[in-house]
Structure 1
Amino acid sequence: MKIKAIVALIISAALSSVAMWLVSSYPPAPKVTVLDNFSAPFVFGKFTVPKENPLTNEGVKLGRRLFYDPILSGSNLIACAHCHKQSRAFTDGLAHSLGESAVPLPFNTPTLANLMWGPQHFFWDGRVPSLEIQALMPITNPDEMNQGLDELVAELQQVEEYRQLFASAYGEISQENIAKALSAFQRSLVSANSRYDQFLAGEIRLTDEEELGRKLFMAHPDVKASLRGGNCIDCHSQFLTGGFDTQYDGFSNNGLDSDEDLLPGLMAVTGKPEHRGLFKVPTLRNIALTAPYMHDGRFKTLEEVLDHYNQGIKLSSTLSPLIIEADNLGQIEQYEPSLNLSGREKKAIIAFLHTLTDEQFITDAKFSNPFKQELKN
Structure 2
Amino acid sequence: MRIQIPAWLGLICMNGLISCGTKDENPIAGPTPTSLDAPDYFPNNIAMPADNPLTEQGVQLGRMLFYEKKLSTDGTISCGSCHQQQKAFSDGKQFSFGVNNSVGDMNAMSLSNLHWQNKFFWNGRAGSLEIQAIQPIQDPREMNLPIEEAVSRLQADSQYPSLFKNAYGTEEITPELIGKALAQFERTLISANSKFDAWIRNEVVLTPEEQLGLELFFTHPDPKLQLRGGNCSDCHLGFLTAGAPNGIAGFHNNGLESEENLASGLMEVTGNPFDKGKFKAPGLRNIALTFPYMHDGRFATLEEVLDHYNDHIQNSGTLDVLILEASNELPDGSNTVKLHLSEDEKKAIIAFLHTLTDQQFITNSKFSDPFK
Alignment partner, residue 149 of structure 1:
147
Segments of 5+ residues of structure 1 without an aligned counterpart are 1-11, 21-27, 373-377
TM-score when normalising by structure 2 = 0.90
Shift in Å, 1:244: 2.0
Alignment partner, residue 86 of structure 1:
85
Against the structure 1 CA distance between its residues 249 and 68, is the aligned structure 2 distance closer, same or farther, given a 3 Å change threshold? closer
Shift in Å, 1:104: 1.6
Encode CA deviations 1:112-162: one digit per residue, 9 max, x unaligned: 1011113x1110001111111111110011111011222222211222221
Shift in Å, 1:246: 6.2
Within the candidate set 148, 161, 164, 2:162 is matched to 164
Alignment partner, residue 127 of structure 2:
129
Distance 1:92 1:247 in 2: 25
Alignment partner, residue 177 of structure 1:
177
Encode CA deviations 1:185-241: one digit per residue, 9 max, x unaligned: 001100000000000000000001100100100111111211110000111102110
Distance 2:267 2:134 in 1: 23
1:266 aligns with 2:233: no
- The residue type paired with residue 312 of structure 2 is G
| Pairs within 5 Å for 1:1-377 | 31-35=30-34, 38-45=36-43, 46-118=45-117, 120-170=118-168, 171-172=170-171, 173-244=173-244, 250-372=250-372
Secondary structure at the counterpart of residue 108 of structure 1: coil
- The residue type paired with residue 196 of structure 1 is F
- The residue type paired with residue 47 of structure 1 is I
TM-score when normalising by structure 1 = 0.89
Against the structure 1 CA distance between its residues 30 and 270, is the aligned structure 2 distance closer, same or farther, given a 3 Å change threshold? farther
Q: Contact 1:30–1:169 (CA<8 Å) still a contact in 2?
A: no
Distance 1:16 1:180 in 2: 38
Secondary structure at the counterpart of residue 43 of structure 1: coil
Distance 1:352 1:237 in 2: 15
Against the structure 1 CA distance between its residues 318 and 175, is the aligned structure 2 distance closer, same or farther, given a 3 Å change threshold? same
Distance 1:70 1:155 in 2: 11
Distance 2:156 2:271 in 1: 44
- The residue type paired with residue 141 of structure 1 is D
- The residue type paired with residue 294 of structure 2 is M
Distance 1:166 1:287 in 2: 35
Distance 2:308 2:356 in 1: 21
Against the structure 1 CA distance between its residues 116 and 248, is the aligned structure 2 distance closer, same or farther, given a 3 Å change threshold? closer
The 4+ residue runs of structure 1 with deviation greater than 4 A are 245-249
- The residue type paired with residue 116 of structure 1 is H
Against the structure 1 CA distance between its residues 321 and 16, is the aligned structure 2 distance closer, same or farther, given a 3 Å change threshold? farther
Q: Contact 1:293–1:300 (CA<8 Å) still a contact in 2?
A: yes
Distance 1:117 1:351 in 2: 25
Distance 1:334 1:293 in 2: 29
Q: Contact 1:215–1:229 (CA<8 Å) still a contact in 2?
A: yes
Distance 1:106 1:16 in 2: 64
Q: Contact 1:101–1:144 (CA<8 Å) still a contact in 2?
A: no
Secondary structure at the counterpart of residue 179 of structure 1: helix
- The residue type paired with residue 320 of structure 2 is S
Against the structure 1 CA distance between its residues 44 and 344, is the aligned structure 2 distance closer, same or farther, given a 3 Å change threshold? same
Against the structure 1 CA distance between its residues 178 and 274, is the aligned structure 2 distance closer, same or farther, given a 3 Å change threshold? same
In terms of mean alpha carbon deviation, does 236-245 or 360-369 score higher? 236-245
Q: Contact 1:30–1:167 (CA<8 Å) still a contact in 2?
A: no
- The residue type paired with residue 126 of structure 1 is G
- The residue type paired with residue 55 of structure 1 is L
Distance 1:29 1:174 in 2: 23
Distance 1:143 1:62 in 2: 25
In terms of mean alpha carbon deviation, does 50-59 or 156-165 score higher? 156-165
Distance 2:247 2:314 in 1: 26
Shift in Å, 1:35: 2.2
Alignment: residue pair count: 350
Distance 1:336 1:30 in 2: 65
Against the structure 1 CA distance between its residues 265 and 29, is the aligned structure 2 distance closer, same or farther, given a 3 Å change threshold? farther
Distance 1:270 1:245 in 2: 23
Query: Identity, % of aligned pairs?
Result: 53
Segments of 5+ residues of structure 2 without an aligned counterpart are 1-11, 20-26
- The residue type paired with residue 145 of structure 2 is Q
Shift in Å, 1:76: 1.1
Distance 1:102 1:48 in 2: 39
